[in-house]
Structure 1
Amino acid sequence: MIKLCGLILFAVCFDLISRQPQALGGMSVRSPWQDVSLPIERRVLALVSNMTVEEKISQLSSSSAAIDHLDIPAFNWWTECLHGMWMPWDNAKAATFFPQPIGLAATWDTEFVGGIASIISEEMRAINNEQYSKDKTYRGLNCFGPNINIFRDPRWGRGSETYGEDPHLTSRMGVAFVKGLQSEDPAYIKVGATCKHFAAYSLENSDGYSRLSFNASVSQRDAVDTYLPAFEACVTEGHAQSVMCSYNAVNGVPTCASRDLLQKHLRQDWTFPGMVVSDCGSVEGVSQNHKFAKSLAEGAADTLKAGTDMSCADYSYLKDSLKEGLVGHIDIDMALIRVLTQRFKLGMFDPPELQPWSSIPMDVVGSQHHVEVAEEAVRRGSVLLKNKKTSIHHGAPKTLPLDASKLKKVSVLGPFAHSPEMLLGNYYGTPAGHVTTPFEAVKAYLGDKAEVSLHLGTRVTGYAPISEDAINACREVDVCIFFVGSSMIKTHEQAGPADMYTMWSGTTEGEGFDRSHIKLPGSQEEIIKAAAVNTDTPIVVVLVHGGPLDVSWMHKSDRIGAIMSAWYPGQGAAGIADLLFGKVSPSGKLPITFYYNNYTEIQSMSNMDMRSWPGRTYRYLQEPEIYPFSHGLSYTAFEYRSLGLRKDANALGDPNAFIARVEVHNTGDVEAAEVVHLFVAPSPVLLGAAAGNALPQKTLKGFARIVVKPGQHQAVELPLASKDFQFASSEHAFGDSRGLQVVAGDWLVQVGSEEISCSVSAVKPLQVISRLVTATQRLNSN
């Protein structure tokens, strides 16, 4: 087969070289690969045929060298765009930063999130255009994102980079983000998207393991039901240009050297045509960390032959691999073809005037519109966790929203109240423009109507100032608003009594940092308790965080009026004030479960099994939680009525194709958005018959975000099909030829507070292809 590929490559290239290059617009074209009249495939082959082996290998590292005599410009592939553009090698380039992905997932709005990705890629193109106009080089046209790993354990330090704990939600958000980045132009891609980290990556430094050498033991069931679906959707629906393999091993094989992952699943089963790039240093890690290979040359050969086309950062070891006969020229050529194909699709070998984004100006970067979208993301994604009445009397208002007209004095406290950098999460560079803090947002909203004072109260970690500071701040004011949470930045703070000097790291979660517990770090809860016990002032708590926090004391306390999760809001913190004062109603829903801290004491983080007691995520959890997945309160009241299920007449040949229809009534007096969730759950009989907790207790299969005015309702329709009742049929390590089966029997369809049963028929196992769920919405009046 390799010899045949080599002969075909030679024949095609010989044909190209013998052709006369076509001119473009009267301009001469020096080389066949610059001939825009040819298909990209033929142009790529022509270029490869003119390169020496040293030149070829130089293009397989993330910092690709220029080859002047072939008109190949230098290009650094490493640009991050998790929630805004960041070039780690050029931090001076500014961009707009949106909430962390966990906060975007909480919007449950795929169209909106796709729009944010489009804004990010617009800014990336603008920065590239400016650079190209100066020196004809390219930058910022490839993105190492989105992160579509599953947030399986609440301690994971990088959970905030993901779209939460559910495979369906993660798939939908990942596809939307990829399409927003890349655009859907027929000839070019706007920015290349890289879905990462493939696969089963969700541990940094726990249980004595490092992410650089951790071996994730993954069963067939968990691979197919949990760890792989988002990646499949990313490449089969989103058509991502590249996939990043991860640091860890899976079942004994480093992912970047795994033929099972990269060849069987990715290229064979999912027909992925794009390139695979390693996480930075993972190629070296095959030999140095996993000890899977004996040398760097052998490790590079293992990864290349498995299907890793590019190394972040260095693939020069392939020169030795080639000399030692560990790889052949055709292995290098096939990887290079995939790498160069993406560069051609980005337009790097074509005149700028042919590309639809070559005229985007720099003034879009950090524009008012982009910052307003960041603020809207906070309004849509912040989750109201608790909102109690201000008194026991009938008709008493709830704590939120705050009535600005009645406020004269407001105290804003906490380490996140006025620290711009701590709001940005991680993977950020220089923000374009001002980063509004919560204190500034509250002060700007109230204007001259109220006196707003700022108090630190405590730091994120380390020694807390005397609680009396918080007590005094909350005396003789109308409301105390605490901004507390967990930090992703590496700050150092001096703290402690006069006779003690201590340096404290501010990082409590992040890349390389798993949490040992999920309580509020440091003394943050202590100062809230002090204010609650020693004053009678209403208290509102806003959480700034990525992973779940055990806020059970605040949830149960009658002294804490409201709790809201604002995640890491990026440059959108002004949206928090709009929610606190009722300009808009909260509508975010949790994309994760809020566990009690004792979960961290009974569950090993290195255990990748989703089902073993006490279970992982809402799908398998067998212990109580503080707030469940999909929880989120509103300033209005919604009622779900008339849930019905009918056969889908358009889905011929599928006996399990249904349309679920429900009416969502706004029975309150505030216009608000609501997220409608569709879950399927096996009946008690079916669940009891499944050995080893094989089936999830329930699993998300559809959702729709709607806006309903007071006194009105909307009918929402969500589809179901056989694939929504399909689960892994084997416990064996994945690679097992036995795959999925439709689980026949009685199932429950749950939408909001409504539930209806349906009977699922056995059908032939289906190919695992995620499906985009759309909602048909009809506006009706009462």
Structure 2
Amino acid sequence: MTLAEKVTFLHQHAPAVPRLGLAAFRTGTEALHGVSWLGTATVFPQPVGLAATWDPDLLERVGAAVATEVRAKRAQDPTVSLNVWAPVVNTLRHPLWGRGEEGYSEDADLTAVLATGYCRGLRGTDPTVWATVPTLKHYLAYSNETDRAVTSSHLPPQALREHELPSFTGPLAAGVVGAVMPSYNLVNGRPNHVARELLDELRTWAPHEVAVVSDAQAPSNLVDGERYHDDHVTSHAAALRAGVDSFTDNSADSAPTVERITAALAAGLVTEADVDRAVLRVLLLRERTGELAGADPYGVGADAIDTPEHRVLAREAAGRGVVVLADDGGVLPLRAPAVVAVVGPFADHVVHDWYSGTPPYLSTVAGALAERYPDADVRIADGADRVALRSLVHDRYLALDPRDTALVASAVAPDEATWLDVTDWGDDVVTLRSAASGRLVSGASWTLRADADRVGGWVAQETFRVRTHDDGTVSLQHVGSGRWLRVQHGSGLLVAEASERTAERFARHVVRAGTAHVAEVCAGADVVVVAVGNDPHVAGRETEDRPGLELPPASRELWRTARAHARAAVLAVVSSYPYAVGDEAAAADAVVWTCHAGQELGHGLVDVLSGDREPTGRLAQTWWRRAEDAGDLLDHDVVGNGQTYRWGAAEPLYAFGHGLSYTRVEHVGLTLSAPTVEAPEPTTVHTPAARPETPRPEAAVVASVTLHNAGGRPVDELVAVHVQAPALPVPAPLRRLAAWTRVALAPGETRTVDLGVPLGTLAVWDVGATPAPGSPVVGTPGAFRVQPGTYRLTVGRSAHDDAANADLVVTGPPAPVRRPDVLEAHAFHAYAGAVTSDRSRAAGSCVEVLPSAHRGWVRHDRLDLAGARALRLEVAPRALPGWSAPTVALALRPTGTGAWRPLGPPVAVPEAGDGATPADRREAAYAWRWVEVPVPDEALPAGPVDLRLELVGAARVARVEVVR
């Protein structure tokens, strides 16, 4: 290939090179839980629902079905890429994250196991040709939509190593991943698309070469949004040098990418070797699919879509992901009810999310109940208010134009053509459905039309915000465009073109209150199923974090109405996310959850409600009582911020691993093969939670769990061993999944299950530890170290359920003392008011003051500074207007105890001189200088010491050198 040809291959859309036999190619077919955006395809449950099965083998079967349908789509259209952009392995750190529906679990190990299963299915079974090439998304520390493309995720070493990296390392090490996509955000001050150190280490985890494909428009965002580089030539060169191989930028237009890389070559910012390396990785990706050799061992035809086998699998997956959260009223399983009321926005309605295909059919809750109980009277109410809106200016009601789908202010009195069903999704956001046509009102064009089958699109066009005025009239804003609605003079058309000041006011005539209709259908029912939750395109999705954890007020009122008029009430939460439903659950006879489970949602849920399928779903994400219990959405330090079930101290509503069955399982006891063990050697290798299917490491203790099915129904029980750590010098998780399996128990059966608990699951990342010889080299100082102490191993219904336990005493040497020559400032043990940032735009880290704090500190523990004459600090100033002059001060204390002893007065950090331009000041942040702090003999306590760096203003510190 010529150099010019190779440069064109760096864009997502690579052209054909006929003389070499290379066809046109592009990266990326979305396949999150089925083939997306390519028309009809089997729609499996969302990943959060698949994760609730805790079954990687099921996910492998789902992945294999998806791979088959991707190949079928390619048989229909050769431009369909066999490089699939799935799965998403970002941990579900916070329940308000708008894209939580795309991930699996808040636990990194469980995420890794499930993602590996899905990738195995996508990869296929042929030893050399992959069915599809999976791409892990999104690397790294991405879990907020608020300012997602410009926020920096602060990852101290412990959060990085224990929480963020393992969900990626597992699938990569299994050899079932061919590509990785960096995320939009920054990590520790550097955009992920130029994070060379992180990308370099990523590639060491896989047994083969891995391509890195950029996220959409992320290369340009290095300049346009993040402003990390001053021009696109420099930024594209930096991304290529850092390890990005394929640029997804400017949609199908490759010209800007080609121009920028060509200019970078001319300027000497990159070399032809840099281009060759990236092109080779993408060619290797293509070679894995069999394209280059013309091999196709799978032989999938164009008709392998929506096969009977895939329908059966979709129903199984939907049912196995249903979680019974509470069952206190004895109403489940349902007992052939004569009258069933099904109410709520999902009573007879199925929705799907952004990364979804078009389902070939839909099974609703009401429809499935009618199928299961053909003799029952199944009553339905969606709970929407049915209204007619009268323009005050025109004194006419909005009506569906009989000639087309437009809304026109034409009716003098309300009739069926004027009726609009208003579904309130909370936060003043509603959808409007024409009662006459059954279709949603859309603002996709400036003329409002009732022509949409569902809420959808990158920008949803079917949502509106309601403003209620003091006189009871309302105005409507089209959320997608931000424009307000008004009625045109002359035509009478309803259009979205007004400002807030000129918005039309409408009198709201209530034809039928939603709660009144709910009360009507619930009267006399044997049981009511209240199906409420979220629409995946409203109030929580890509680009939009959730406003809160509570159900919308309208849904809560609907629930209260149904509960008041029903003999028995089941709260069915149909959602992409956890909800804080403590009050609602307290009044319910039973509470169940299902994700938006695709085409088989109704069958899957009713299979469990009826008892035709024993409930097996278990939560892979905590349901907190309040949003505050989950921690700060924008703080990614799960350890310091106390987030997820591992580090969160709050009592959850429904804990990680929770889920009920229709029988009573007793955890009779837990015994250990050894009550005392020796701590293993420190290592840089993460030890995941174990399953019986995985090889047991030498450093393990066997936990024997005895279970008894004390009920009258069979059960497929999740058996999970969790570890509770004592208070330790380096904070360990309050609880952590250490080993798990599933066990089938017949009624009355007692069984003992042995689980190997790797001692490495007790380890924490200690920046002061030295890894044992032979440990892989990683980019962060320290190692995983098991600290001596007494650990409690527990089993029960969830991570918070201590039904049976046993103590494990770990012996070993005390925490190591370091005698450093140089300390990396960012490799601290504790901190406050400080964050990790970038030492340069290419590599390295430092610490600086959190912008909202103006001062902060970091602490390095267990140091041997004997003989130190001075400490030299590598410092630089951050360009922050209006901040006080940057200074750094040092203090010492005996390790873990005593008062801090200052090492002299604060030291000034040299700043850019007077008259420096803003550009000069930005560059000064990377102009590192050394300042020296003397260490008087009397300032050094005897024995190991802790060192604290106190930063004020715009101070940055990269390293501390010990001068002896």
> How high is the TM-score relative to the length of structure 1?
0.80
CA distance in 2, matches of 1:69, 1:270: 33
Q: Which residue does the alignment assign to 2:490?
A: none
CA distance in 1, matches of 2:73, 2:50: 24
Could you report, residue by residue, the CA deviation over 1:313-344 in whole angstroms, capped at 9, with x for unpaired residues?
35322122212221110000001111101101
* SS of residue in 1 equivalent to 2:572: strand
2:377 counterpart of 1:451: yes
Following TM superposition, by how much is the alpha carbon of 1:277 offset from its aligned partner in structure 2, in angstroms?
Answer: 0.8
2:357 counterpart of 1:429: yes
CA distance in 2, matches of 1:331, 1:764: 47
CA distance in 2, matches of 1:239, 1:428: 23
2:740 counterpart of 1:703: yes
Q: Which residue does the alignment assign to 1:575?
A: 604
Counterpart of 1:759 (choices 800, 809, 813) is 809
- Decide whether the 8 Å contact of 1:678 with 1:749 is kept in 2: yes
Q: How does 1:739-754 map to 2 (within 5 A)?
A: 739-752=783-796, 753-754=803-804
Q: Which residue does the alignment assign to 2:849?
A: none
- Decide whether the 8 Å contact of 2:158 with 2:766 is kept in 1: yes
CA distance in 1, matches of 2:695, 2:325: 43
- Decide whether the 8 Å contact of 1:127 with 1:140 is kept in 2: no
- Decide whether the 8 Å contact of 1:508 with 1:521 is kept in 2: no
* Higher helix proportion (structure 1 or 2): 1
Task: Give the residue type in structure 2 aligned to 1:544.
Answer: V
CA distance in 2, matches of 1:690, 1:757: 19
- Decide whether the 8 Å contact of 2:623 with 2:654 is kept in 1: yes
Q: Which residue does the alignment assign to 1:547?
A: 577
2:648 counterpart of 1:621: yes
CA distance in 2, matches of 1:435, 1:641: 43
Q: Which residue does the alignment assign to 1:11?
A: none
CA distance in 1, matches of 2:766, 2:2: 49
CA distance in 2, matches of 1:219, 1:612: 9
* SS of residue in 2 equivalent to 1:452: strand
Q: Which residue does the alignment assign to 2:727?
A: 688
Structure 1 residues 269 and 655: CA distance shift in structure 2, 3 A: closer
Counterpart of 1:202 (choices 140, 143, 146) is 143
CA distance in 1, matches of 2:353, 2:278: 35
2:284 counterpart of 1:341: yes
Could you report, residue by residue, the CA deviation over 1:549-576 in whole angstroms, capped at 9, with x for unpaired residues?
010111222xx21110011111221111
- Decide whether the 8 Å contact of 1:413 with 1:480 is kept in 2: yes
CA distance in 2, matches of 1:712, 1:234: 36
Structure 1 residues 96 and 703: CA distance shift in structure 2, 3 A: same
Moved more, 523-532 or 638-647: 638-647
Root-mean-square deviation (Å)? 2.5
Counterpart of 2:153 (choices 192, 195, 216) is 216
Could you report, residue by residue, the CA deviation over 1:408-457 in whole angstroms, capped at 9, with x for unpaired residues?
2211111112223x1x23301222x212111211111111x111122111
2:368 counterpart of 1:441: yes
Following TM superposition, by how much is the alpha carbon of 1:731 offset from its aligned partner in structure 2, in angstroms?
Answer: 9.6
Following TM superposition, by how much is the alpha carbon of 1:167 offset from its aligned partner in structure 2, in angstroms?
Answer: 0.9
Counterpart of 2:85 (choices 144, 152, 157) is 144
CA distance in 2, matches of 1:346, 1:146: 18
- Decide whether the 8 Å contact of 2:94 with 2:631 is kept in 1: no
Following TM superposition, by how much is the alpha carbon of 1:75 offset from its aligned partner in structure 2, in angstroms?
Answer: 1.9
Structure 1 residues 543 and 654: CA distance shift in structure 2, 3 A: closer
2:638 counterpart of 1:610: yes
* Higher strand proportion (structure 1 or 2): 2
Counterpart of 1:593 (choices 603, 618, 622) is 622
Q: Which residue does the alignment assign to 1:252?
A: 189
CA distance in 2, matches of 1:763, 1:307: 40
Could you report, residue by residue, the CA deviation over 1:147-196 in whole angstroms, capped at 9, with x for unpaired residues?
00011111001111111100111111111111111024221111000111
- Decide whether the 8 Å contact of 1:116 with 1:180 is kept in 2: yes
Q: Which residue does the alignment assign to 1:63?
A: 13
CA distance in 2, matches of 1:365, 1:653: 40
2:698 counterpart of 1:670: no
2:147 counterpart of 1:108: no
Counterpart of 2:275 (choices 332, 336, 343) is 332
Structure 1 residues 275 and 690: CA distance shift in structure 2, 3 A: same
The answer to which structure, 1 or 2, has the higher relative contact order (CA under 8 A, 6+ apart) is 1
Structure 1 residues 642 and 477: CA distance shift in structure 2, 3 A: closer
Counterpart of 1:403 (choices 332, 335, 349) is 335
Following TM superposition, by how much is the alpha carbon of 1:306 offset from its aligned partner in structure 2, in angstroms?
Answer: 0.5
Task: Give the residue type in structure 1 aligned to 2:634.
Answer: S
- Decide whether the 8 Å contact of 2:728 with 2:787 is kept in 1: no
Counterpart of 2:668 (choices 641, 645, 663) is 641
Could you report, residue by residue, the CA deviation over 1:347-369 in whole angstroms, capped at 9, with x for unpaired residues?
11223xx4311x22333311122
Following TM superposition, by how much is the alpha carbon of 1:585 offset from its aligned partner in structure 2, in angstroms?
Answer: 1.8
Moved more, 249-258 or 750-759: 750-759
Structure 1 residues 570 and 662: CA distance shift in structure 2, 3 A: same
2:127 counterpart of 1:191: no
Q: How does 1:709-748 map to 2 (within 5 A)?
A: 709-730=746-767, 735-748=779-792
Structure 1 residues 527 and 179: CA distance shift in structure 2, 3 A: same
- Decide whether the 8 Å contact of 1:241 with 1:275 is kept in 2: yes
Q: Which residue does the alignment assign to 1:82?
A: 32
CA distance in 2, matches of 1:429, 1:182: 20
CA distance in 1, matches of 2:596, 2:424: 14
Task: Give the residue type in structure 2 aligned to 1:754.
Answer: A
Structure 1 residues 144 and 269: CA distance shift in structure 2, 3 A: closer
Structure 1 residues 75 and 400: CA distance shift in structure 2, 3 A: same
- Decide whether the 8 Å contact of 1:236 with 1:272 is kept in 2: no
Question: Can you give the 5+ residue segments of structure 1 that lack an aligned partner in the other structure?
Answer: 1-50, 132-136, 390-397, 490-506, 766-782
Q: Which residue does the alignment assign to 1:492?
A: none
Q: Which residue does the alignment assign to 1:538?
A: 568
Could you report, residue by residue, the CA deviation over 1:733-779 in whole angstroms, capped at 9, with x for unpaired residues?
x94322321223222222222211223344999xxxxxxxxxxxxxx
Could you report, residue by residue, the CA deviation over 1:41-92 in whole angstroms, capped at 9, with x for unpaired residues?
xxxxxxxxxx1222112222222222222221112222111100124xxx33
Structure 1 residues 425 and 708: CA distance shift in structure 2, 3 A: farther
* SS of residue in 2 equivalent to 1:379: helix
Task: Give the residue type in structure 2 aligned to 1:221.
Answer: Q
* SS of residue in 1 equivalent to 2:285: helix
What number of residue pairs does the alignment pair up?
655
Q: Which residue does the alignment assign to 2:593?
A: 565
Following TM superposition, by how much is the alpha carbon of 1:466 offset from its aligned partner in structure 2, in angstroms?
Answer: 4.2
- Decide whether the 8 Å contact of 1:235 with 1:272 is kept in 2: no
CA distance in 2, matches of 1:761, 1:220: 25
Q: Which residue does the alignment assign to 1:584?
A: 613
CA distance in 2, matches of 1:298, 1:731: 37
Moved more, 713-722 or 53-62: 713-722
2:162 counterpart of 1:225: yes
Q: Which residue does the alignment assign to 1:73?
A: 23
- Decide whether the 8 Å contact of 1:638 with 1:668 is kept in 2: yes
* SS of residue in 1 equivalent to 2:30: coil
Q: Which residue does the alignment assign to 1:374?
A: 314
* SS of residue in 2 equivalent to 1:200: coil
Following TM superposition, by how much is the alpha carbon of 1:537 offset from its aligned partner in structure 2, in angstroms?
Answer: 2.4
- Decide whether the 8 Å contact of 1:215 with 1:252 is kept in 2: yes
Structure 1 residues 632 and 582: CA distance shift in structure 2, 3 A: same
Question: Can you give the 5+ residue segments of structure 2 that lack an aligned partner in the other structure?
Answer: 385-422, 432-512, 678-691, 770-777, 797-802, 816-964
* SS of residue in 1 equivalent to 2:119: helix
Could you report, residue by residue, the CA deviation over 1:559-596 in whole angstroms, capped at 9, with x for unpaired residues?
x2111001111122111111111112211111111112
Q: Which residue does the alignment assign to 1:494?
A: none
